[in-house]
Chains A and B, each alone.
Chain A
């Protein structure tokens, strides 16, 4: 049974009809002990069929350990979305429900190769010379969440120092506990700082600066 019905397939085909450069969807999965691994793989494979510019690569988390390390994948299911290069855009947990939108947005902006951010934001991000790790915690039933995920992914696209993960809270409860996630979206920045809610670009940037400043002390 396909996960995407005929109607959704058509919508996705239309949305992805404007892709410019090829995009690769790299899935890390394994057969056992992973709640949504097989669905994630299936979802990505179905999406990849809907555009000539898309390609799905499937790796086994354990058998292909080297690849997992190369892409910094430490939990599964994981989807790494890469274009001409790896911009640091990750999905941990199934990108379904509202997060399906985030996946389509990631594909489109990577294919375009240009972040959809203000000039000031791009200028700042390209000047960042330390690693920034954004982890956006979501639930698939949260309508506000894709805004936070898409924003984080745009920031990753804007700077080689930024990596941005969607983290589906229900599939990684230990991380939800570790980062005290009691509401979504919540963006954790470099372990030290966080932003609650679908915050505007300027506010997230401020928090990134804060996180980098506190690390430098």
Chain B
């Protein structure tokens, strides 16, 4: 069997329950987000004996759960599957006493202390908060994308790769995710075409070498996708070469989009200072503009977006939260 039984915390999400909202659960620290950043914060806070809850979002384990494998997290010389890494983060956080709450946060109030966070089920109060909501895949914003999302257009190769056995797919993007997932998709698809808007990949060299050596992968350079075509199902994409302005059709049964991420900061508009792209503004010690509210991971990182860095900022945020809560003198 090629899939180990996995245990992740989750519950049914998003039911607007008003009845039990009156009684709030109180913690010293509430962490919003259950990816590498949030769970690392929870490990540190738990070890400092700070009473901690973690509100896990819609993707338990965060983005690693949505990747085939992680090869650059130190300590795993043979790589580790993204889902297993995510699961290990969570077990470690739970071992030190963090309460994992399977619902996502839907509303926050940072205007007064204790801070207040509402999930789809309950209200939580906390003296300090770490925001680690991460980032979500960016969409192309072209005709056909919305209509075919989930039935021919995907951002999760590990979920949907199977449906493209012996078929042709395109992957849009040129970064690590795009190239890594293109390689992963060759396990299923006959042909994988990577469409990139520049004439060279941004992906790490080791991914590039693997992709160039793979006979199932070809590349369409200097091109952007302008439309996803199809009637009942996806049949192809229309691309435009940005240098020659020529348009072309590429036949395809599926479209996997990896053109970068967008910070998941909607919840914090008017609560925290955001930059123009929506990233939460923080200083080098992971403080936001609200004392007692800290931030970690991809929601504040437009540059690196690495598991190891998310974990690192999570550790800083937790240590700063501990200091704020008076754990250090």
Contacts and interface: CB of A to CB of B under 8 A. Distances in A.
B154 interface: yes
Contact of B66 (A36, A43, A143, A176): A143
A16 B11 CA distance: 15
B255 to A, nearest CB: 11
Nearest to B65: A143
B15 interface: yes
Nearest to B83: A143
A100 B12 contact: no
Contacts of A81: none
A183 B6 contact: no
B61 A143 contact: yes
Given A144-B59, A183-B152, A196-B149, A8 B159 contact: no
B7 A176 contact: no
B11 A184 contact: no
Interface in B106-161: 149-154, 156, 158-160
Given A141-B159, A182-B254, A8 B5 contact: yes
Contacts of B152: 182-183
Nearest to A154: B12
B12 A150 contact: yes
Interface residues of A, number: 50
B162 A169 contact: yes
B156 A101 contact: no
Contacts of A4: 5
Nearest to B5: A100
A30 to B, nearest CB: 18
B245 interface: no
A160 interface: no
Which of B60, B66, B91 has the most A CB atoms < 10 Å from its CB? B60
Contacts of B4: 96-97
A192 interface: no
Contact of A201 (B3, B13, B61, B156): B13
B10 A150 contact: yes
Interface in A168-189: 169-170, 176, 180-184, 186
Contact of A144 (B11, B15, B58, B233): B58
A176 B12 contact: no
Interface residues of B, number: 41
Given A43-B5, A96-B5, A141 B83 contact: yes
Contacts of A202: 14-16
Contact of B11 (A105, A139, A170): A105
Contacts of A198: 13, 58
B8 A182 contact: no
B3 A119 contact: no
Interface string B1-45: 101111110111111110100000000000000000000000000
B163 interface: yes
A3 interface: yes
A36 B1 contact: yes
A182 B150 CA distance: 7
A119 B19 contact: yes
Contacts of A142: 156, 158-160
A116 interface: yes
A104 interface: yes
A170 B163 CA distance: 8
A216 interface: no
Contacts of B254: 182
A80 to B, nearest CB: 19
B83 A98 contact: yes
Contacts of A94: 1
Contacts of B232: 180
A170 B15 contact: no
Contacts of A117: 12, 15
A34 B65 CA distance: 29
B10 A105 contact: yes
Given A100-B5, A105-B11, A118 B233 contact: no
A147 B17 contact: no
Nearest to A94: B1
A180 B159 contact: no
- Max chain A Cβ within 10 angstroms of own Cβ: one of B150, B151, B154: B150
A147 B150 contact: no
Contacts of A39: 1
9 contacts: A96-B4, A100-B7, A139-B162, A143-B86, A147-B10, A150-B11, A150-B12, A182-B151, A182-B160
Given A11-B91, A201-B15, 18 more contacts: A96-B3, A97-B4, A100-B7, A105-B11, A118-B16, A119-B19, A120-B15, A142-B158, A143-B86, A144-B156, A147-B12, A147-B58, A169-B163, A183-B149, A183-B152, A183-B159, A200-B13, A201-B12
Closest 4 CB pairs of A and B: A118-B15, A196-B150, A200-B14, A97-B3
